[in-house]
Amino acid sequence: MASKKMALIATKGTLDMAYPPFILASTAASLGWDVQIFFTFYGLQLLRKSLDGVQISPLANPAMPMPVPIPVMVQMLPGMEAMATMMMKKKMKSKGVASLQELRDVCLELEVKFVACQMTVDLFEFETSEFIKDVEYGGAATFMKFAGESDVCLFI
Amino acid sequence: MDFNKEFDASGLACPMPIVKTKKALADMASGQILRVVATDPGSVCDMAAFAEQTGNALLEQSSENSKFVFYLKKA
């Protein structure tokens, strides 16, 4: 029985959108699947050495549950983003949700392959020294090969 | 039920119970039994899916107090 393949395309870099690729990848890898994640655009932020900078903004995020409704005029004030990020991280910890760092480490341990989009690395002028070392650099065509063979292909 | 190894995933949320189960089973010999305790309600379906997908049999599953207890046999 050949194991399944899953291809993920991670395009977002906010705290809420960082979790789905790492959780899906680590779960599939735990089930013995062959998993690759293609990081592009803001998904590249998830390849930084430290994930402490991954934030979530309360601004223009009407679907985000809040303990108290906050008017838009207040959401945009300095410090609100840091506060929303801190509150979400605290909530996650209290509910036993693993940190982003831990989930990423688990993915690498379970041999999930990380591919970074060379084009967007060049576009945003990121230095590869800022990223973790277990990353391959390639273009969309590189990823298409694996994506084409995958049983599950998701765009996040 | 007798078991060879156990670990407690209490307080851990998805996907950690499954990830840790996989890691624990990796070091075990075929036929050995692993006991896992979890509090995550999602782990009930997850363990069954894990067993089915990986071929490691889920021998028994129960709840004690507010915890879920699973016995898995390494394939």
From residue B15, how far is each of A17, A39, B38 by CA, in Å? 16, 21, 12
Average pLDDT over residues A110-136: 96
Best probe of the A interface among B19, B37, B39, B47, by most A CBs < 10 A, is: B19
Which among A117, A153, A116, A154 has a CA at the least distance from the CA of A135?
A116
Find the closest chain A residue to B16 by CA distance: A98
Chain-chain contact of B15 with A32 (C-beta, under 8 angstroms): no
Q: How far apart are CA A41 and CA A43, in angstroms?
A: 5
What is residue B61's predicted lDDT score, i.e. its pLDDT? 95
Q: What percent of chain A has pLDDT over 90?
A: 95
B66 Cα distance to chain centroid: 16
CATH class of domain segment(s) A1-51+99-156: alpha beta
Domain boundaries, chain B: 5-73
Cα Rg, chain B, nearest whole Å? 11
What is residue A107's predicted lDDT score, i.e. its pLDDT? 98
Q: How many interchain CB pairs under 8 A, A with B?
A: 38
CB A55 within 8 A of CB A81: yes
- B5-73: CATH number: 3.30.110.40
What is residue A3's predicted lDDT score, i.e. its pLDDT? 87
State chain A's mean pLDDT as an integer: 95
Q: What is the pLDDT of residues B21-37, one digit of tens each?
A: 999 999 999 999 999 99
What is residue B64's predicted lDDT score, i.e. its pLDDT? 85
Chain-chain contact of B50 with A97 (C-beta, under 8 angstroms): no
Q: For residue A121, give the amino acid letter.
A: V
Average pLDDT over residues B10-27: 94
Judged by CB atoms within 8 Å, which residues 8-27 of A form the interface with B?
Answer: 23, 26-27
Residue A35 tokens, joined: 């998993």
Average pLDDT over residues A78-98: 95
- Residue A144 neighbours by CB under 8 Å, 6+ apart: none
End-to-end C-alpha distance for chain B, whole angstroms = 18
Chain-chain contact of B13 with A110 (C-beta, under 8 angstroms): no
What is residue B65's predicted lDDT score, i.e. its pLDDT? 86
What does pTM read for this prediction? 0.93
How crowded is residue A62: how many other Cβ atoms within 10 Å of its Cβ?
10
Largest interatomic CA distance in chain A? 56
A156 min Cα distance to partner chain B (Å):
18
Measured between beta carbons, which residues in chain B are less than 8 angstroms from residue A26? 15, 19
Which among B45, B3, B40 has a CA at the least distance from the CA of B25?
B3
DSSP designation for A48: B
pLDDT value at A1 more than 70: no
What is residue B72's predicted lDDT score, i.e. its pLDDT? 96
Average pLDDT over residues A83-103: 96
Chain-chain contact of B50 with A23 (C-beta, under 8 angstroms): no
Bridge partners (DSSP) listed for residue A10:
A39
Domain boundaries, chain A: 1-51+99-156, 53-98
Q: What is the pLDDT of residues B58-71, one digit of tens each?
A: 999 999 888 999 99
Phi/psi region, residue A71 (left: phi>0; alpha: psi -120 to 50; beta: rest), is beta
Confidence of residue B11 (pLDDT cuts 50, 70, 90): very high
pLDDT value at A4 more than 70: yes
What is residue B66's predicted lDDT score, i.e. its pLDDT? 87
Residue A105 tokens, joined: 């480490």
